[in-house]
């Protein structure tokens, strides 16, 4: 079922590229941006995440923590993060639990790859409530980063 604005964000625990566990509910007290993306090292994913990297100061200014999430292994995400010099955390949803919980999983994807994260964005406020939800069916599109920032501005004031 699609995630709705106003509902409590589904909790999850995933590993980051340093092999640390990150649990969403432990981020309470912070604004959180979740960016699900299909695959590391692909053109649109790299473009999207580089846009976030290059504008990280704006996210910091609204007290937002950004997590990029894909079904890639934490090892490939680590290489991707280092290569692109991302300044935010990438999380491996290798077992697809978070992608399923956020209704952000392509059943069938390009070249017979099943179970790849849909490109999607969620803003979760300090109380753990979803304040913005965008799930894209077309993987070549990028979430509305301006709308995400507007949402963060609103919940930060």
Catalytic residues, by residue number, are 45
DSSP 97: H
Tokens of 87: 């300044």
Q: What is the DSSP pairing of strand 120-124 with strand 130-135? A: antiparallel
d(CA 63, CA 55): 13
Residues forming beta bridges with residue 2, ordered by sequence position: none
Distance CA 22, CA 11 (A): 10
């Amino acid at each position: 079922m699609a995630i709705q604005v106003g509902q409590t964000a589904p909790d999850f625990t995933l590993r980051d590229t340093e092999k640390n566990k990150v649990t969403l509910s432990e981020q309470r007290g912070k604004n959180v941006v979740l960016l699900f993306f299909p695959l590391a090292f692909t053109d649109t994913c790299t473009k999207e995440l580089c846009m976030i990297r290059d504008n990280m100061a704006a996210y910091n200014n609204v007290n937002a923590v950004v997590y990029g999430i894909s079904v890639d292994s934490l090892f490939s995400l680590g290489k991707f993060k280092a290569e692109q010099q991302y300044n935010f955390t990438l999380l491996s949803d290798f077992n697809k639990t978070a992608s399923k919980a956020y209704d952000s999983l392509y059943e069938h994807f390009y070249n017979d790859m099943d179970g790849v994260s849909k490109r999607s964005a969620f803003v979760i406020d300090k109380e753990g409530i979803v304040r913005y939800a965008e799930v894209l069916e077309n993987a070549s599109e990028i979430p509305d980063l301006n709308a995400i920032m507007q949402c963060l501005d609103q919940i930060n004031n």
